[in-house]
Chains A and B, each alone.
Chain A
Amino acid sequence: MARVAAVLKALARAVARDQKSVESVVGNNFFFVSALLLRQAGTFIYLIIGLVLLFPLSTDPLRKIPASRLALWPLDARDHRLLRVLSPWINPMTWLLAGLALWAGRGKITLGLWALAAGLVAAGFLLSDLPFAPADSLKRSIPRFPGLLNQLIRKNLREILSTLDIYCALLLSLLTLLFRLLGRPLPKEALLALSILVVLALSSYAQCLFGLDGRAGISRYHLLPLRGWQILAAKDAALLAILILLLLPVAWLAGMAAALVALAFGHGPSVQTVRPQMRWRFSTGSSVMLGILQAMSMGAAGAAVFLSSTWFVLPCAVAWLISLWAAGRAFERGAA
């Protein structure tokens, strides 16, 4: 039992350090803006948002120990069984689920909602045992781009594909497309709101553009004979290429104006402090205040383009260019 307790203690420490999931929910623009917009909908909608956003937490804690290490430790079959039974309780999601079960028992939530939550947690638990990454073939199918930044843009696209933000935006975009294909009329303003939401889903990523490069990637950037603005431009090109596609079913020009503003706000924090991000999590922005400012400016830019004149794209592009140049210089200075 002492051996199992020692392993569980180490696991608990590892899980406690894996706070990125909770942090990412708090620091993600899409989460807090959705929560503000939907506050009239009550507890139910918060529960749904919470469950979806906390989904990445639903991993099997035992996976934190490399299988080869676990096999090397002098643990007998009984120890392994105990670990299998006890380790899920290290995950806060298991306790949350148990709490929800109590609520369901008292009739505070429906059994169906509890089953949905349990299904999400179980799916996360089982998927953590699988190579939960886009198949290599998908990563390899990314098209080539002209110019010397080709490989960097492709790499950046692959990075974006390994965040949850893109799938959130994709879901919004696909649902809108489906709605329009079915011939349902959408109010004009709804298109604007949806295009802003699509960009919003990726706006926290714009604040941590180097978060998935790791220390080694950053050091390589500084060794390449490229200017800082070129490295940032490769980041932006990847994000904008994805957004162009996602914005096609909605108001794409208004969305692109919002995207340029999101990037203009994101360049500075991206190069000032590299905030390491985790794959298969929502991106964590640099601060809630900046997130609010970014989201409001995106909304204003999108609305100006959509409701007044398409020429409003120009000041957005100028702001983006200035920020690209300034942050590029800052990136070069931060070579150490």
Chain B
Amino acid sequence: MITCRNLTRRFADFTAVDSLSFEVAPGAICAFLGPNGAGKSTTVKMLTGLLPPTSGTVQVCGLDPAAKPIELKRQIGVLPEDLGLFDDLTVEEHLLLTGAVYGVDRHVTRERADQLLHALSLENGRRTFAASCSHGMRKKTAFAMALLPNPRVLFLDEPFEAIDPVTSKIMREILESVARRGITVFLTSHILSVVEQIATQLIMIGGGRLVWDSPISELPQDLEKHYFEMVETPVVEELEWLGSPRS
């Protein structure tokens, strides 16, 4: 469903993504992991047609995002890094806009919007303008927008951050349910415990390069240990000015 070959993106002298190659099968939940600045968002932008690669090829749903951007956009749902909400639309209006521009019938859009608002506990805030929403509400709205047109691939940039535990659980169940129906989920996250629960495939990058790609069942150790070993080892500095520790 997603195929990258030697995908590279340079910004002047800086190489954000360096010869990345991987494949994600239909119905997989692929977690794309890496530290801040590793090139995750740049890769997602290239996969969704927002950024042309400097070199290499991408195919999503059998389409080249650079050559057929509109056709691709009709087949994918995206929760972008910045959520992509308009301050002057309410939560509900964002969903109605999504239905209209993706060609979903008006009544079907209404039904799906009601279900999503209920499932994500957004019913009380449906008439709230995005500018007045909390970060969690905004994230849930963007998540609902990604799901509403029933896409073939879901790209989710850090979907679980700033989400309350109950909604996080609901979102995980929704993702597992859509994956069982053959929809591919490609997500980035820093919450390794959640990733470990739902992902079927793991891709790790560091400094723009691929450092790991396997089904989650083939991990040699628990995810956190493996991540620290493959990507980045945490170094904790002693802050002596905080005083000496109590015994």
What is B's interface to A at a CB cutoff of 8 Å? 45, 48-52, 69-70, 73-74, 78, 80, 82-89, 93-94, 96-97, 100-103, 127, 129
Q: Are A217 and B50 in contact (CB under 8 A)?
A: no
Q: Quick one: closest B residue to A226, CB to CB? A: B101
Residues of A within 8 A of B96 (CB): 150-151
Shortest Cβ distance from residue A214 to the other chain B in the assembled complex, whole angstroms: 7
Interface residues of A in 128-158 (CB under 8 A from B): 136, 139-140, 148-152, 154-155, 158
> Binary interface profile of A, 216-237, with partner B (CB < 8 Å = 1, else 0)?
1101101111110000000000
Q: Are B74 and A216 in contact (CB under 8 A)?
A: no
Residues of B within 8 A of A216 (CB): 80, 82-86
- The answer to whether residues A336 and B82 also contact, given A151-B89, A155-B89, A225-B102 and a CB cut-off of 8 A, is no
Q: Are B100 and A150 in contact (CB under 8 A)?
A: yes
Interface CB pairs A-B, < 8 A, 5: A154-B93, A212-B87, A214-B87, A217-B84, A223-B50
Q: Are B101 and A159 in contact (CB under 8 A)?
A: no
Residues of B within 8 A of A140 (CB): 127
Asked if A47 is at the interface (CB within 8 A of a chain B CB), the reply is no
Asked if A79 is at the interface (CB within 8 A of a chain B CB), the reply is no
**How far, in angstroms, from A224 to B86 measured CA to CA in the complex?**
13
| Contact among B48, B73, B129 with A136 in the assembled complex (CB-CB below 8 Å) | B129
Residues of B within 8 A of A139 (CB): 88, 129
Asked if A171 is at the interface (CB within 8 A of a chain B CB), the reply is no
Q: Which 3 pairs across A and B sit closest by C-beta, in order of nearness?
A: A220-B84, A151-B97, A158-B88
What is A's interface to B at a CB cutoff of 8 Å? 136, 139-140, 148-152, 154-155, 158-159, 162, 212-217, 219-220, 222-227, 332, 335-336
Q: Are A151 and B100 in contact (CB under 8 A)?
A: yes
**How far, in angstroms, from A227 to B68 measured CA to CA in the complex?**
12
Q: Are B69 and A332 in contact (CB under 8 A)?
A: yes
Residues of B within 8 A of A335 (CB): 49-51, 69
| Contact among A152, A214, A219 with B80 in the assembled complex (CB-CB below 8 Å) | A219
| Contact among B45, B70, B103, B127 with A227 in the assembled complex (CB-CB below 8 Å) | B70
**How far, in angstroms, from A158 to B96 measured CA to CA in the complex?**
17
Shortest Cβ distance from residue B49 to the other chain A in the assembled complex, whole angstroms: 7
Shortest Cβ distance from residue A333 to the other chain B in the assembled complex, whole angstroms: 9
Residues of B within 8 A of A136 (CB): 129
**How far, in angstroms, from A222 to B129 measured CA to CA in the complex?**
21
13 additional A-B pairs beyond A151-B96, A215-B82, beta carbons within 8 Å, are A148-B100, A150-B100, A151-B97, A155-B93, A158-B88, A212-B87, A216-B82, A216-B84, A217-B87, A220-B85, A225-B73, A225-B74, A336-B45
**How far, in angstroms, from A86 to B49 measured CA to CA in the complex?**
52
Q: Are A213 and B86 in contact (CB under 8 A)?
A: yes
